[in-house]
Structures are given as structure tokens and as C-alpha cells.
Amino acid sequence: MPPTLPPFSNSVRLKYVKLGYQYLVNHILTLTLIPIMLGVFIEVVRLGPEEIVNLWNSLHFDLVQILCSSFLIIFVATVYFMSKPRSIYLVDYACYKPPVTCRVPFATFMEHSRLILSNNPKSVEFQMRILERSGLGEETCLPPAIHYIPPTPTMEAARGEAEIVIFSAMDALFNKTGLKPKDIDILIVNCSLFSPTPSLSAMVINKYKLRSNIKSFNLSGMGCSAGLISIDLARDLLQVHPNSNAVVVSTEIITPNYYKGNERAMLLPNCLFRMGGAAILLSNRRSERRRAKYRLVHVVRTHKGADDKAYRCVFEEEDKEGKVGISLSKDLMAIAGEALKSNITTIGPLVLPASEQLLFLLTLIGRKIFNPKWKPYIPDFKQAFEHFCIHAGGRAVIDELQKNLQLSSEHVEASRMTLHRFGNTSSSSLWYEMSYIEAKGRMKKGDRIWQIAFGSGFKCNSAVWKCNKTIKTPTDGPWADCIERYPVHIPEVVKL
């Protein structure tokens, strides 16, 4: 007997029922007003010319009433426009692309690990297993100081890495936007683990001879989500400083944070973190509206630091031998999931269409009143966003969010390919992902982008952007010489 076909009719009917429900709920106001307006229009047409003239004459307008009404309308309009938040535009951004001399293939990484940890083969084997399942590729990069055997994480080397990453990203931003250093009103630099004196923001001011009245900020210790915290800070500052430009620099300096001990929880960052950085130009100037790529819509921040487990799940400390490293807890994914739930609860009502919010509300009421065992409804965020930029913190992070948000492989493609090509570049990874989507020619006018980042503390932060114009495929940027090779198949395990 030939195999029977699956009952497609049922799924097709269900699909059209769902589409009809979504259209009905999302356009309920329009569908209600049209019949009312049509009825009024028909009644007016039925009236004769004399009846219309009599109706008009029956309306008596007093001069004082007209003046008071006009004044009230002008007053309300003035208050509305004065209290309306300023639009924040992302004019452009630039990502740092490390030179090929910093490339760390798997063979090189493992050879160095065997030489550095020659007294502890179990730690070497552990790193190999992590690397095999990490989702990283052969072209990720580490700073020059880590290439030495043993590594030389000196202050001079760390400053050297900071200079090459930050200055390269800033120079690229100046070239792309035509921005002059004197035009920068606000400067925000975030780097979690390297906080020298003078600060990194002072280093940028000294290099480019920025104005003496510039408002500069240096954020440290805030983890991989610090990039969106910087965006939020820039937004708040641009709300109170009209006609201003803000530059945000997001990076993580690897040199001083390479762990040389044997604690497994502290060896994980060695396998995942790589060089990277990005510089972003934000502006509230109306003149920048036409050429700006994106408009900032929402920023939602969630902090779980009140919980002890969440506070310590990413923790910098000394091991038994006194060597400093970043310890990653086994509860990290569970804590990240709880932080994501809290963040989604806040951002959902701001971005989801009415149809999804209604379904979520009905399910919540049903669980509270009728049956607590009802499966909770997971909103379909694919109706709210066209693109997703999930922090490329590791393969497990991307897998978990894809599963929980019910995303397709294409929705998480930018995150997986960024992890494969550049590794975990901390707070700047979101901008490599945005650049990937642009390089693929997928960013169209009106598209909505959801950036999601996680960081120590523990934090989950979200930013929502709306594309101002269809973006042409760039000829430069970090993906320029390799975008044709992507996407690539990433096996579950790469045997080393």
C-alpha cells in the first residue's frame, strides 16, 4: 500500500482561522469605525440641501466660545509636543575586525593549552571537550599577549589591546559617518573586566582631542549586557540634551583576564571569549533622521541581583592557588531563563500585537480560575519582530532562547554565525549580528529588531529598533570578505 498523505486540510484550516483571528483583533478599531462612518455618511446624503442649510443655521457659535476652544486646542497641542520624548536615531555603527595574525585555530589553542597546563592533562581534556561543542569556528581571534607561551597579561599589553580595538572601531565610525571628533557631545565606553586609570573614556578623549565640555562615562563590571545599558544611558542623556551626538563604545579586553589555573568553572571563558568591539553613533538631531539607519523604540532592563544565586552565577574570584578568574555557575542557564521571563513580561505589552496579548491574558485567567495545570501560552514574538539579535554568549544560550521563543533556524542564524566567526565578543556581539543581517541584504525599511543580552549580576536587557530605510548590502565591515561563505553548517561536535 502506498503511504497515506498527512491530513493537510486540518492544518490549513487552523492556519487560516489563526490568521483571521489575528487580523480581526489587531484591526478591531478600524473594523468598528468603518460601519459607523459609513452609516453617518449615508444619513447625510439622504438629507436634502434645505435640511442641511437649516441644520447649519441651527448651530450658534459665540466668539468667546470659539476663542476659548482655539486656545484650549493650542494649549493641549503644545503640552503634548513639549512632553513627547525626543526620537533617538542610530546613524551608523562600526565593528572591529581583528587581523589574521591574531587568529586562533583549534589546533593552536589546544597546543598552547597543553604547554601552559602541562601539569594538568585533565584540564586540557576538559577545554578540548568544551571547544568541540562550543560552536566556534577556526577564525576567531585572541590578542597578541595570549599568543605567547606562557601568556604575558601585562598592563601595557592590555592597554595595547584596548587601543587597537577601540581606536580601529572609532576610525571606522568616523569614515562611515563623516563625524568629526569635535561634534561628539556624549561619550560612553563600556568594558567589564579592564578598568585602568585614567579610564578608557579618557583614553579616547586624549586620542581624538575631544572637547573639554564633553559628557563622558566609563562603565565597568556590568558583563556582556553592558552594551545595551550604555544605549539606555545614552538615550536618557539625549532626552535632556537637545541637538546632540552620542558615541557608545562597547568592548571587552581579553588580555588581563586569561585564566591560567585548573578550576573547570574558570576555564570556560578561555574557550569562549574572543577579541571584538563596536562603536555606535546615536543622535537626536532632526537633520540626522533621513540618513540614520535605525530609530530606538524601547529599552527594557531586568536585574536579578537581589537573588544570591543570580548574583554569584558569574563571579570574578581567586581559585585555591590564588589565580584570578571568572567562575561560571552550573545554574547559569536556569537563572538566565528566569531573567528572560521577567524581561519578556515587561517588553511583551510594549511590542506584541493585540491578538497575542489577548490570548496570553485569556490563558492566564484560565490558569488562575479554572485549571492551574493548563499549559502557559508563549506569545509569538515573530509577529512583533522581523529580526532577532541574541547575545552570542555560547551555543547553549542560543539553543535555549530559540526553544523558549519558538524561533526558526533563520531567526537565530545571525547569532550562530557570529559565534562561529568571531566567538563571544561580549557586549559587542549584538552589533556583529546586526552587521550580519545587513551583509545578507535582509534589512528592509520598517523592519523591527530585537536585541537581547545577558550579563553578570545577573541582568537581561532588551533593545527594540525600527529600520528607517532599506539598507544596501555594505561593501565594508567585519563580514565583507566572508559573507558569501555563510551560513555554514555547525556540527554538534567537532572532533579535535
d(CA 170, CA 155): 22
Q: What is the mean pLDDT of residues 174-178?
A: 96
Q: Is 41 helix (H, G, I), strand (E, B) or coil?
A: helix
Predicted TM-score of the model (pTM):
0.86
- Higher-pLDDT residue of 120 and 422 is 422
How sure is the predictor about 8, in pLDDT bands with cuts at 50, 70 and 90?
A: very low
Q: Is 412 helix (H, G, I), strand (E, B) or coil?
A: coil
d(CA 226, CA 299): 13
Is residue 14 pLDDT above 60, yes or no? no
C-alpha cell at 253: 579586553
Query: What is the full DSSP assignment across 166-229?
Result: HHHHHHHHHHHH---GGG--EEEEE-SS---SS-HHHHHHHHHT--TT-EEEEE-S-GGGHHHH
| Phi, psi values for residue 369, rounded to 5° | -95, -45
Instruction: Specify the amino acid at residue 220.
Output: S
Instruction: Specify the amino acid at residue 8.
Output: F
C-alpha cell at 16: 487560516
Say if residues 456 and 192 touch (Cβ distance below 8 Å).
yes
Residue 489 annotated in active site: no
Which pLDDT score is estimated for 181? 96
Q: Is 15 helix (H, G, I), strand (E, B) or coil?
A: helix
First to last CA, the chain: 47
Residue from 95, 190, 218, 391 carrying the catalytic annotation: 391
How sure is the predictor about 24, in pLDDT bands with cuts at 50, 70 and 90?
A: low
Which DSSP symbol is given to 85?
P
Among 229-233, 365-369, 482-486, whose mean pLDDT is lowest? 365-369
| Phi, psi values for residue 437, rounded to 5° | -60, -40
Which helix H or strand E contains 156, and what residues bound it? helix 155-177
Residue 147 annotated in active site: no
Which DSSP symbol is given to 473?
P
Among 92-106, 232-246, 366-380, whose mean pLDDT is lowest? 366-380
Residue from 343, 424, 461, 468 carrying the catalytic annotation: 424
Which DSSP symbol is given to 102?
G
| Phi, psi values for residue 316, rounded to 5° | -90, 125
Which DSSP symbol is given to 475?
S
Residue 27 annotated in active site: no
Q: What average pLDDT is seen over the chain?
A: 88
Residue from 224, 271, 313, 467 carrying the catalytic annotation: 224
Residue from 141, 420, 460, 468 carrying the catalytic annotation: 420
Is residue 6 pLDDT above 50, yes or no? no
The pairs formed by 401-404 with CB atoms below 8 angstroms and a separation of 24 or more are: 401/340, 401/452, 404/337, 404/340, 404/378
d(CA 180, CA 191): 24
- Higher-pLDDT residue of 359 and 396 is 396
Between CA 246 and CA 250, with CA 247 as vertex, the angle to 5 degrees is 140
Is residue 110 pLDDT above 60, yes or no? yes
Beta bridge partners of 325: 317
Which pLDDT score is estimated for 16? 46
Which pLDDT score is estimated for 9? 38
Please say whether the dihedral angle defined by the alpha carbons of residues 72, 73, 78 and 83, taken in this order, is positive or negative. positive
Q: What are the E-state strand segments in 391-434? A: none
Give all domains of the chain, ordered by start, each with its CATH number. 88-485 (3.40.47.10)
Q: What is the mean pLDDT of residues 292-299?
A: 96
Say if residues 330 and 337 touch (Cβ distance below 8 Å).
no
C-alpha cell at 280: 555606535
Of all residues in the chain, the percent with pLDDT exceeding 70 is 91
Which pLDDT score is estimated for 76? 82
Residue 102 annotated in active site: no
Which DSSP symbol is given to 380?
-
Of 144, 140, 139, the C-alpha closest to 156 is: 144
Which pLDDT score is estimated for 27? 64
Is residue 144 pLDDT above 60, yes or no? yes
d(CA 443, CA 75): 40
d(CA 219, CA 393): 20
Residue from 26, 102, 303, 482 carrying the catalytic annotation: 303
Is residue 13 pLDDT above 50, yes or no? no
